[in-house]
Chains A and B, each alone.
Chain A
Amino acid sequence: MPGAPFAIVGAMTPLRVNGEHVELDVAPRRTLLDALRADLGLTGAKKSCDMGNCGACTVLLDGAAVYSCLVLAVDCAGRAVTTIEGLAADGKLHRLQEAFIAADALQCGFCTPGQLMALAALYDRVARPSDAEIMRALSGNLCRCGAYQNIVRAARMAREP
């Protein structure tokens, strides 16, 4: 029957979020995005389309950039999630974050956490990514304010010398 309420499963979901162990008590249908935002209070990842079109909810799952609106929280058991809140280390901004500020790679800022995490996944693997790699990493992230030109400028600025 469409719309019938789902039964709540009692099992806890253990995972690491920004380096800390957490136990989530969530329904199987809850997305990672909703779990981060509503259950863990990590509101940096944004809900914009909720169907994998825009990238505003991008986080790292075991180091790979994923749309957290397309991942079920229960499927993250035993895995490591990094959100925008975990990108700066001990209060020191990641070089991508510094570059985003310097290049004004944002306007309203709503897509910014997703853009940064999409790039962070790349920069964790490649210290000096090519322009093509930058473009590919950002290809799934929309910016309606149209800050793309400065987002690419920031990404270039963040390449290690």
Chain B
Amino acid sequence: MTTRLEGRAKVTGAARYAADARFPGLLYARILRSPHAHARIRRIDTSRAERLGGVHAVLSSANSPCIGWYEESALFDRTVRFIGDEVAAVAAESEELAEDAVRLIAVQYEPLAFDMRGAPAEPKTEQRGDLARGLREADVVLEAAYRTQTALHNALEPHGCTALWHGDHLVVHESTQGIFAVRDEVAEKLGLSPQKVRVITEHMGGGFGAKQIAWKHTVIAALLAQRTGRPVQLMLERSAENLAVGNRNATEQALRLGAKRDGTLTAIDVRIRFEQGAYSAGGEASDVIGTYLTLYRCANVRAEQRPLRSNAGPAVAFRAPGYAEGNFALESAIDELAERLKIDAVELRLRNYATRDQREDKPFTAPQSLRRCITRVAEACEWTHQRSGLGFAAHDWAAGGGWPPAEAEVEFRDGAARVVVGVQDIGTGSRTALAQIVAAELGIALERVAIELGDTQPEIYGPTSAGSATLATLGPVLQDAARRAKNAGRGRAVRADNPQDKSIRTCGAQAVELAVDRDTGEVSVKRVVAAHDCGRIVNPLLQSSQVIGGITQALGYALNEHRVVDPRLGEVLNANLEEYKVPTLADIPAIVNLSESMPDEEANATGAKGCGEPPIIPTAAALANAIYSATGVRIRELPITRDKLIR
């Protein structure tokens, strides 16, 4: 089995992350954050911090350029809108001194009224057919409401960077999923041309969506480095990581499903509210309505999602944004509907799954792959809805097919290849899978391929690692560039458009087997069986790791993880890794990955699609369905904690 190219670097400690960049004269920065959920800053006194020995610069709204941020806000705004909003920053000789200095900054706040419940903003609505008719035609209408919680990414490497200037050129060693996204945004904020900003991400310690945009810390570090004439490292503390740089939005989903007695879906109606926090941070949108519009064949659909603005930290994409949340509700509801119809839950899915993209009105490139995944998982777990503790869910995901723009360069000499791409390996193994595609095209061993990535300097554009898109975006480009290099010694290629008449998606199914202790409410997950369509599997070992990792994260989402906020104060009560319960080794069941290689030749020339996000999508619903099967208790709210089960 082909193992990851950076394996040795990662097991020896040689792999360099954003905070591992070492430069002579390096300063350490720290950010002062608002202790109020909403307040106006009356006065900031930084004089004591500035006088502290070892402190080289203090930045706040009093002395920094006015740089616009989020919609109408600023880098250091005079109004703070959540606990954790940036107020000031310090660069000092050590992290300890930077922390001391931050504590010496005196700020006078004028507290303002705040809203943790959230004020509804403009909704986004999509509909097709005639909902009223669909409901009239139904023999059974299921009406139910589901809720999902705010979850925190908590990548083990916090957000952060090391920034330094060479004359008027800025170099940033950043922990990011999008080196070009950060380069362009930082250049714009600082009024530089993009060519004067170089972003490097050699390795990064996880992002899961939260590191796909430029956050304030990068510009703050750049300004501090400029002011001090020294390199500045600014890594967020764990608490800041949990307050200010994104979360998975909580949702409320009220839905109606109408079906005929034979199981045919006649109507889907869903109204969703989701928490956006204090700001709209940008990046991949949370498309909670997405799966309602595409997973099942249904002529009459109305789907509406409405963001709520509150005085909490801003939401941002988190692995399969919108779909993990939407799927929990929809796939729980499909089980509830199946019971009302007295139709087997897997059979109901097989009768209704869509083979066309009803949103785009086009057939899918691989219309039967979902059936294959559903059947494979059902067979492997010897599916029967009568078996206690067994639950099932299917899913789709609008992405995974990749898209332009992207480019790549390949040099081929003396049987060895040098590859340059402008993406970053966020830990999924992009480096390895992309190099494998070149090796296969050139007919050489993988060891003969040297791949360079994670650097904007070569000016070879690569996309943000989002939408499970990297492999399907760059794979075909590399295949093309390698083919050219084979003939000419050097080849450059750009990403072609996707087919116009078909829609590319990824999909899959999972089953969860568990037992519930009736006295304590403890859920013991025994096994999760999964099959996902990610087209041709380029590297089975790495694909398997994505499935195992996605399901592990999903189990945390389903059972434990929950950002707890005190509504009276607006304060996050568990902004750390002790009280925010991410899964540990002891929480993990056997995860069985039954994904088959199913080359999707119509999607792109490699036949490969992404698999980063899909595995996190259907687990929570399969788990809720398994709990219902084991106990007869239907939990419509994540996380499914013991108190909810015992109540």
Contact with B along A48-79 (1 / 0, CB 8 A): 11110110100000000000000000000000
Q: Which chain A residues border B585 with CB–CB below 8 Å?
A: 135, 138-139, 141, 143, 148, 151-152
What distance in Å separates the Cβ of B530 from its nearest Cβ neighbour in chain A?
12
The reply to whether B100 and A44 contact each other, CB–CB distance below 8 Å, is no
The reply to whether A109 and B94 contact each other, CB–CB distance below 8 Å, is no
How far is it, in angstroms, between the C-alpha of A107 and the C-alpha of B104 when the chains are bound? 40
Q: Which of B157, B542, B578 contacts A104 (CB 8 A)?
A: B542
Q: Which chain A residues border B590 with CB–CB below 8 Å?
A: 149
- B549 contacts A by Cβ under 8 Å: yes
Q: Which of A43, A53, A107 contacts B427 (CB 8 A)?
A: A107
Contact with A along B575-590 (1 / 0, CB 8 A): 0111000111110101
Contact with B along A3-47 (1 / 0, CB 8 A): 111100000000000000000000101100010011001111111
- B167 contacts A by Cβ under 8 Å: no
**Chain B minimum-CB-distance residue to A111:** B156
Interface residues of A in 125-150 (CB under 8 A from B): 135, 138-139, 141-150
The reply to whether A109 and B6 contact each other, CB–CB distance below 8 Å, is yes
Number of interface residues of B (CB under 8 A): 67
The reply to whether A108 and B205 contact each other, CB–CB distance below 8 Å, is yes
Number of interface residues of A (CB under 8 A): 60
Q: Which chain A residues border B237 with CB–CB below 8 Å?
A: 50
- B488 contacts A by Cβ under 8 Å: no
What distance in Å separates the Cβ of B36 from its nearest Cβ neighbour in chain A?
19
- B402 contacts A by Cβ under 8 Å: no
What distance in Å separates the Cβ of B107 from its nearest Cβ neighbour in chain A?
14
Q: Which chain A residues border B591 with CB–CB below 8 Å?
A: 149
Q: Which of A34, A93, A108 contacts B156 (CB 8 A)?
A: A108
How far is it, in angstroms, between the C-alpha of A27 and the C-alpha of B576 when the chains are bound? 26
**Chain B minimum-CB-distance residue to A41:** B22
How far is it, in angstroms, between the C-alpha of A43 and the C-alpha of B203 when the chains are bound? 13
What distance in Å separates the Cβ of B175 from its nearest Cβ neighbour in chain A?
9
The reply to whether A144 and B553 contact each other, CB–CB distance below 8 Å, is yes
Given contacts A56-B156, A108-B204, whether A2 and B11 have CB atoms under 8 Å apart is no
The reply to whether A109 and B541 contact each other, CB–CB distance below 8 Å, is no
What distance in Å separates the Cβ of B481 from its nearest Cβ neighbour in chain A?
27
What distance in Å separates the Cβ of B395 from its nearest Cβ neighbour in chain A?
18
Q: Which of B11, B153, B238 contacts A93 (CB 8 A)?
A: B11
Q: Which chain A residues border B610 with CB–CB below 8 Å?
A: none
Q: Which chain B residues border A122 with CB–CB below 8 Å?
A: none
What distance in Å separates the Cβ of A109 from its nearest Cβ neighbour in chain B?
3
Q: Which chain B residues border A47 with CB–CB below 8 Å?
A: 19, 235
The reply to whether A53 and B578 contact each other, CB–CB distance below 8 Å, is yes
The reply to whether B552 and A148 contact each other, CB–CB distance below 8 Å, is yes
The reply to whether B586 and A49 contact each other, CB–CB distance below 8 Å, is no
Given contacts A29-B96, A51-B238, A100-B7, whether A108 and B155 have CB atoms under 8 Å apart is yes
The reply to whether B53 and A48 contact each other, CB–CB distance below 8 Å, is no
The reply to whether B157 and A83 contact each other, CB–CB distance below 8 Å, is no
How far is it, in angstroms, between the C-alpha of A9 and the C-alpha of B158 when the chains are bound? 31
The reply to whether B15 and A109 contact each other, CB–CB distance below 8 Å, is yes
Q: Which chain A residues border B577 with CB–CB below 8 Å?
A: 48-49, 51, 53-54, 142
Contact with A along B125-156 (1 / 0, CB 8 A): 00000000000000000000000000001111
The reply to whether A46 and B12 contact each other, CB–CB distance below 8 Å, is no
The reply to whether B206 and A147 contact each other, CB–CB distance below 8 Å, is no
